Amino acid sequence: MQGKLGKSNKKVLLVTPPYHCGVLEAAGRWLPLGFVYIAGALRKAGFEPVIYDAMTKFHDFEDIAKRIEEERPAVVVTTCYTSTYPAGKRLLEIAKQVSPSIVTVMGGVHSTFMWKEVLEDCQAVDFIVRYEGEVSFPELLLALSGNGDLRKVRGIACRQNGKPVANSLAPYIENLDGLTKAWDLLDWEDYVYFASDNKRLAILDTSRGCPFGCTFCSQQRYWEKSWRARNPEKVIEEIEYLHSQYGVEVFMFSDELPTWSRERWEQLLDLLTERDLGIEILMESRGDDILRDEDIMKKYKRAGVSHIYVGLESVSQKTLDFFKKDIRELALAIFMWVSNRFLKKLLTFSKKILRWLNPRKSLTLSMITRLFPKPLLS
Ligand code: B12
Ligand code: SF4
């Protein structure tokens, strides 16, 4: 196994890969929540994390090389989705060019699943941390500093005698509220939501995971269909803190399925309404949960929910079944219902989609209007 850390340099530079997806960047600048968690855990373990969001700053590899030279970190880490892997790989190659003694680490969805391929493909990656990083990563760095046995650190992969090897996996973190976050390490002026007058934006998680098994989705495998949630009181405390401390007015929930427990979700909506902070909430959920909550839609609105991203995937039940989406309702009707009630601007868009998508005339606007005749949120 490769890499060793000296006693004096504790600096860990966390860099987002300079990849640009276009569409989502047209709506705002999104903070790296995973790094906020990892940096919090590193600090607790005695390291000095620095978050450098090169992606959001639109910095290129030259800027990144300069920053690594300036910071002189002992460790450089990055995070990768499949689409961002080439940029993440290049970033770690640059770190090694700046100084071969820098220990490099990659984490995130792509390297979690593809650890073997990544270690074969990129010699500049020393270690991979698989799945959640808050426990495994500090343990890895402590072991590299001589405080622990690398072979016993769960959730890591590396090369041994040139061959990729992986240790056993760490269990999912049970108490999400027990984790420390390093919110102070972000350049808050970078994070804005263009769609709402450039208001300050944060990303927050109220739960992790999803119990469904849609075949195309990486998250069902990332969380092995588990679901863990934070206490709504703790979530609201954090929202209040970010609102007062950093002026955050728009919150995106990173959860796959924040609504899975209706009781908990309703509690959170009530708390948000009670605090009346004048904030806006962007969230994802499943169409069937939104339908389930038809009777409490007004609560969503009062709590500040302005956008719900629903993965429609297909208008054909046959295709939905093929994907194992596990939605029995008329998916398009759900989408229309949500857009009708919340996303007024999207309604026109969806009408256009409907005309385009509906050559078989299996669903019609009049059919949907019959299903959901009364606007709930007017
Ligand atoms: C918020 C979000 C975004 C934000 C990203 C903001 C940011 N700077 O991080 C925005 C809106 C910009 C975005 C865009 C895209 N996204 Co996105 N996004 C998400 C979402 C909803 C939440 C991510 C998050 O914050 N999670 C919460 C934190 C705590 O978890 P985390 O980031 O995974 O980090 C933890 C672990 O994974 C691990 N970890 C992660 N990285 C590292 C690194 C190290 C070193 C270590 C030790 C550990 C570690 O430790 C962290 C703490 O436990 C996820 C789905 C999800 N719920 O996770 C999709 C998701 C990550 N996105 C996805 C995709 C495809 C995209 C786009 C490519 C979409 C597109 N076609 O344009 C773009 C790419 C954008 C880009 N430029 O990179 C996919 C990735 C799938 C894959 N297999 O690659 C996901 C999984 C959604 C999905 N199921 O399809 N996204
Ligand atoms: S419901 Fe959403 S997050 Fe869950 S497995 Fe299906 S697509 Fe993935």
For residue 2, is it within any domain?
A: no
Residue 328 has pLDDT above 80, yes or no: no
pLDDT of residue 344: 46
Q: Are residues 242 and 260 both part of a single domain?
A: yes
> Where in the sequence is the domain holding 78, given as residue range(s)?
11-166
pLDDT value of position 332: 58
Residue 293 confidence (pLDDT): 86
pLDDT tens, position by position, 142-159? 999 998 899 999 999 999
Residues 105 and 200 in one domain: no
Q: What angle do CA 38, 242, 271 make, to 5 degrees?
A: 110
203 lines ligand 1 (CB under 6 A): yes
Are 356 and 212 within one domain? yes
Q: Are residues 285 and 252 in the same domain?
A: yes
pTM of the model: 0.92
Percent residues over pLDDT 70 in the chain: 85
pLDDT at 102: 97
Alpha-carbon torsion (255, 13, 84, 219), positive or negative:
negative
pLDDT for the residue 310: 80
Q: Summarize the confidence of residues 217-230 as an average pLDDT.
A: 96
Which position has the higher pLDDT, 66 or 329?
66
Which of 133, 166, 199 lies at the terminal end of a domain, its last residue? 166
At residue 311 the predicted structure's pLDDT band, cuts being 50, 70 and 90, is confident
Residue 225 alpha carbon, nearest atom of ligand 2: 5
Between residues 149 and 295, which one has the greater pLDDT?
149
Q: Domain of 34: which CATH number?
A: 3.40.50.280
Work out the average pLDDT over 5-17: 93
Q: Which of 77, 83, 204 to mutate to test the pocket of ligand 1 (most atoms within 8 A of CB)?
A: 83
The answer to the question of residue 38 being in a domain is yes
Provide the number of structural domains found in the chain.
2
4 part of a folded domain: no
Q: Are both 82 and 197 inside the same structural domain?
A: no
Q: Give the list of residues 6+ apart from residue 208 with CB closer than 8 angstroms, or none.
A: 172, 176, 223, 227, 228, 255, 256
Q: Is 141 helix (H, G, I), strand (E, B) or coil?
A: helix
Decide if pLDDT at 357 tops 70: no
- How far apart CA 295 and CA 262 sit, in angstroms, is 12
Query: Do 160 and 266 sit in the same domain of this protein?
Result: no
143 and 195 together in one domain: no
pLDDT for the residue 377: 34
Mean pLDDT of 251-275: 98
CA 71 to ligand 1 center in whole angstroms: 26
Return the CATH number at 333.
Answer: 3.30.750.210
pLDDT digits (tens, 9 = 90+) for 95-142: 999 999 999 999 999 999 999 999 999 999 999 999 999 999 999 999
Answer yes or no: do 131 and 246 share one domain. no
Is residue 42 pLDDT above 60, yes or no?
A: yes
Instruction: Work out the burial of residue 345: count CB atoms within 10 Å of its CB; fewer than 13 is exposed, 13-18 middle, 19 or more buried.
Output: exposed
Question: 55 or 365: whose pLDDT is higher?
Answer: 55
The answer to whether residue 377 sits within a structural domain is no
Same domain flag for 154 and 194? no
378 found inside a domain: no
Structure tokens at 191: 């994070």
132 and 207 inside one domain: no
120, 142, 166 — which closes off a domain?
A: 166
Within a domain: residue 1?
no
Q: Closest-lying ligand to the alpha carbon of 257?
A: 2
pLDDT grade, residue 338 (50/70/90)? low
**Do 302 and 228 sit in the same domain of this protein?**
yes
247 falls within a domain: yes
Same domain, 187 and 160: no
Whose alpha carbon is nearest atom 8 of ligand 2?
Answer: 217
Residue 195 lies in a domain: yes
Residue 286 CA, ligand 2 centroid: distance in Å: 8
Q: End-to-end CA distance of the chain, in Å? A: 62
Calpha distance 306→291 (Å, rounded): 16
Task: Report which secondary-structure segment, H or E, holds 42.
Answer: helix 33-44
Query: What is the pLDDT, as a whole number, of residue 376?
Result: 36
Give the number of the atom of ligand 2 that is nearest the alpha carbon of residue 286: 1
The mean of the pLDDT values for the chain is 89
Q: Convert the pLDDT of each residue in 154-213 to its tens digit.
A: 999 999 999 999 999 999 999 999 999 999 999 999 999 998 899 999 999 999 999 999
pLDDT score for 62: 98
pLDDT at site 26: 85
Return the ligand 2 atom nearest residue 219 CA. 8
Residues 6+ apart with CB under 8 A from 171: none
Asked which of 166, 188, 210 is the last residue of a domain, the reply is 166
Q: Say which ligand is closest to the CA of 82.
A: 1
Q: Is ligand 1 within 6 A of the CB of residue 33?
A: yes
